[in-house]
């Protein structure tokens, strides 16, 4: 009775060994470092920059290791957090504004562990540091963009459905918003009103008569405005999440806050310039035809012909060109974008894939305009923050919204193409990669502006880790003290099983790539209490059986078997709570739920199996008269 079988011992040893291997990487914490990157994607960070940075650090007597290239940046490991702060300031002063020097953390896990895919747990924003952004969606611009789209659609519908001989004068956005449709007589206006009302219910339509004109004023209804705002915030949140995934950030937080704001937290990312450049850009593309009547360079100072607009090239590398106002395709139709090189010229390019609607539009245009020029127009809205002084002397922040449009290229259409083609005329591979990322992640429904930016440095994360470790150690010691005092040797076995539970939990958290946060540490501490609670139930059941006069072997067997149902029920109810928290929670709440749920599963195994193996090893199948399970103040 109570004898371990060989396969039970083998399984337990295998679990312990695997848990130890995959928990060991957590003993190799990330090392303080600084990361040097360009102010924008086109700035190259090469060996000359590395030499300058190393000379500065050597002159300042700061400990460092040789610079390591990481994509288009440099990583320099520093001795400690205090030296890291000094190193960042010294290198930033030396390199100037063309480069961004940011805090970072470099991995130190040995290569042999990495070869076994054993990696340390990723740390969250509160433990590792990172960046916190709050962005505000420009709802006025979202409504304006929807109005602009409806202007073209209303024109098309009226041309198609107005009776023969009935025409409209113009359809355009009003100076103060809304859409104005102008007609020559009341009959045309009334006919158009019916057509528009049959097409959409998004507008409140009113008649406007002035100076012999018969016009319609279209304003979005309250329901339509709410739908536009909800779409803008949800689409932007999805796009930001896609861009964060492209950056490779583990367990980011991207969530809506209020009616028009989005909160973004990126653990481990402390290069705020790179994060802001990628996340906040409202970059999009417009494909337009170059005016075939004026295909050549346009001289400055001349007015653009009707129905056209004049745009410059990036960095004014070529004279401006005249483009047709009609857009063939916009960035909304891009479903795939990949950076590469032109095999003939070896210059950077971006391969574009359009959706079916965009592909049909591109095919129609290229069919009709073989030999003409088509231009790629880059459109971006930026926010410039400045501080102004009110008449009463109060300082306040003003955000100026600036829209930039420039040509990337203007190339001749040599043949018919549809959904797949390439964009050339890019300055560098880094610029091509960034443009591809922005297009691939999806277009923003409306511009966004940073209204809050906060960087959490590694030093604060270190303090949080120390506090969390202290809580875990103190909790573990108190549990050990209670178990040993109350259950003697059997309590020691329960504590050994608790150590096995912690090893197994840490190994699982590292293996599945979970991000550990302070609430996650709280979940681990809580798991220790839950894990030992199972052994308390078992030990009390064994005591009860001993009081009934059963032998040690019978008491052990019935103690484990009869406590199993209670342990299962208590763990299952707690696991249900953890799963609900995981499903409904977000951010740190979800991190707590993950550690708690995994801890419940691992404790169910270790509390019952580990401790049973130890008990069987000491007492199983032996003529034992007494069990070391009574409190120390009670004689056995």
Number of helices and strands in the chain (H, E): 16, 23
Which one is predicted more confidently, 251 or 185?
A: 185
List strand residue ranges (DSSP E) for 505-606, in order: 515-516
Task: For 496-530, write each residue's pLDDT tens digit.
Answer: 998 898 889 988 888 887 778 788 888 888 888 88
Q: What is the pLDDT of residue 219?
A: 92
| Predicted local confidence at residue 278, as pLDDT | 66
608 has pLDDT over 70: yes
Q: What is the pLDDT of residues 382-399, one digit of tens each?
A: 666 666 777 777 777 666
Residue range 452-468: mean pLDDT, rounded? 70
The pLDDT score that the predictor gives to residue 134 is 87
Region for 189 from its dihedrals, namely left if φ exceeds 0, alpha if ψ lies in -120 to 50, beta otherwise:
alpha
Nearest to 257 by CA among 354, 133, 108: 133
Interior angle at CA 302, CA 300 and CA 304, nearest 5: 110
* DSSP 3-state percent helix, strand, coil across the chain (nearest 5): 50, 25, 25
User: Which segments of 268-394 are extended strands (E)?
Assistant: 284-289, 308-311, 321-324, 329-330, 334-341, 348-354, 373-389
Q: Pick from 132, 114, 119: which is nearest to 25 by CA?
A: 119
Lookup: tokens for 76 = 């320099």
Taking the C-alpha atoms of residue 450 and residue 429, their distance in angstroms, rounded to an integer, is 27
The residue whose two tokens read 């072997």 is 553
Please give the residue that has the higher pLDDT: either 77 or 424.
77
Which has the minimum average pLDDT: 184-198, 243-257, 416-430, 595-609?
Answer: 243-257
pLDDT of 271 above 60 = no
Q: How far is CA 68 from the centre of its chain?
A: 25
Q: Is the pLDDT of residue 236 over 80?
A: yes
Question: Average model confidence (pLDDT) for the chain?
Answer: 82
Q: Please tell me the predicted confidence (pLDDT) of residue 397.
A: 65
Give the per-residue pLDDT at 343. 76
Phi, psi of 130 (to 5 degrees): 155, -155
Contacts of range 469-478, beta carbons closer than 8 Å, 24 or more positions apart: 469/521, 471/521, 471/522, 471/525, 472/521, 472/524, 472/525, 472/528, 475/525, 475/528, 475/529, 476/502, 476/528
Strand pairing report for 261-267 and 130-137: antiparallel
pLDDT at 636: 54
pTM of the model: 0.59
DSSP 62-100: --B---EEETTEEEEEBSSHHHHHHHHHHHHHHH-TTEE
Centre a 10 Å sphere on the Cβ of residue 296 and count the other Cβ atoms it contains: 11
- The mean per-residue pLDDT over the stretch 284-301 comes to 83
* Residue 535: per-residue pLDDT: 87
Q: What is the dihedral of CA 241, 246, 252, 253, to 10 degrees?
A: -10
H/E segment holding residue 132: strand 130-137
pLDDT at site 379: 80
pLDDT of 250 higher than 60? no
When mean pLDDT is compared across 125-134, 190-199, 272-281, the lowest value belongs to 272-281
Question: According to the model, what pLDDT value does residue 274 have?
Answer: 63
pLDDT tens per residue, range 340-367: 887 777 788 888 888 888 888 889 988 9
What string of DSSP letters covers 582-606?
HHH--THHHHHHHHHHHHHHHHHHI
């Amino acid at each position: 009775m109570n004898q371990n079988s060989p396969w039970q011992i083998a399984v337990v040893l295998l679990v312990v060994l695997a848990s130890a291997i995959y928990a060991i990487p957590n003993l190799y914490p990330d090392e303080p470092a600084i990361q040097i990157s360009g102010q924008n994607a086109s700035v190259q960070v090469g060996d000359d920059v590395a030499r300058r940075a190393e000379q500065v650090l050597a002159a300042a007597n700061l400990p460092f290791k040789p610079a390591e290239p990481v994509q288009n940046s440099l990583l320099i490991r520093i001795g400690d957090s205090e030296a890291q702060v000094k190193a960042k300031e010294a290198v930033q002063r030396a390199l100037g504004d063309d480069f961004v020097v940011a805090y970072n953390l470099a991995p130190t896990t040995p290569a042999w562990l990495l070869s076994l895919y054993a990696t340390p747990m990723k740390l969250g924003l509160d433990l590792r540091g990172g960046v916190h952004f709050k962005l505000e969606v420009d709802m006025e611009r979202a409504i304006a963009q929807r109005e602009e789209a409806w202007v073209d659609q209303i024109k098309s519908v009226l041309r198609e459905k107005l009776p023969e001989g009935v025409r409209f004068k113009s359809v355009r956005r009003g100076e103060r918003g809304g859409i104005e449709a102008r007609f020559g007589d009341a009959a045309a206006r009334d006919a158009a009103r019916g057509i528009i009302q049959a097409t959409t219910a998004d507008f409140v339509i009113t008649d406007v008569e002035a100076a012999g004109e018969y016009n319609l004023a279209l304003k979005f209804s309250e329901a339509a405005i709410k739908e536009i705002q909800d779409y803008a915030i949800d689409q932007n949140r999805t796009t930001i999440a896609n861009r964060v995934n492209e950056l490779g950030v583990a367990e980011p937080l991207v969530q809506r806050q209020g009616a028009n704001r989005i909160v973004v937290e990126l653990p481990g990312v402390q290069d705020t310039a790179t994060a802001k450049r990628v996340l906040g850009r409202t970059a999009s593309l417009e494909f337009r035809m170059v005016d075939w009547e004026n295909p050549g360079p346009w001289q400055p100072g001349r007015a653009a012909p009707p129905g056209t607009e004049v745009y410059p090239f990036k960095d004014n590398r070529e004279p401006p060109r005249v483009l047709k106002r009609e857009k063939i395709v916009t960035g909304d139709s891009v479903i795939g974008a990949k950076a590469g090189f032109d095999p003939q010229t070896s210059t950077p390019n971006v391969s574009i894939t359009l959706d079916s609607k965009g592909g049909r539009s591109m095919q129609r245009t290229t069919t009709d305009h073989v030999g003409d020029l088509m231009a790629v127009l880059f459109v971006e809205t930026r926010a410039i923050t400045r501080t102004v002084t009110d008449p009463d002397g109060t300082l306040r922040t003003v955000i100026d919204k600036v829209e930039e449009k420039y040509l990337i290229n203007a190339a001749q259409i040599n043949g018919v193409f549809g959904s797949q083609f390439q964009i050339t005329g890019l300055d560098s591979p880094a610029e091509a990669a960034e443009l591809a990322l922005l297009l691939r992640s999806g277009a923003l429904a409306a511009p966004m502006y940073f209204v809050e930016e906060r960087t959490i440095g590694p030093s604060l994360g270190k303090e949080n880790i120390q506090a969390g470790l202290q809580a875990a150690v103190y909790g573990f010691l108190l549990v050990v003290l209670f178990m040993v005092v109350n259950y003697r040797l059997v309590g020691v076995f329960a504590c050994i099983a608790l150590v096995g539970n912690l090893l197994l939990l840490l190994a699982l958290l590292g293996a599945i790539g979970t991000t550990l946060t302070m609430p996650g540490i709280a979940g681990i501490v809580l798991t220790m209490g839950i894990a030992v609670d199972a052994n308390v139930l078992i030990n009390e059941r064994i005591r009860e059986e001993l009081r009934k006069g059963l032998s040690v072997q019978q008491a052990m067997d019935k103690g484990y078997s009869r406590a199993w149902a209670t342990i299962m029920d208590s763990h299952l109810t707690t696991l249900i709570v953890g799963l609900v928290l995981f499903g409904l929670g977000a951010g740190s709440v979800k991190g707590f739920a993950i550690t708690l749920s995994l801890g419940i599963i691992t404790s169910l195994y270790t509390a019952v199996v580990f401790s049973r193996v130890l008990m069987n090893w000491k007492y199983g199948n032996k003529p034992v008269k007494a069990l070391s399970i009574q409190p120390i103040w009670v004689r056995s």
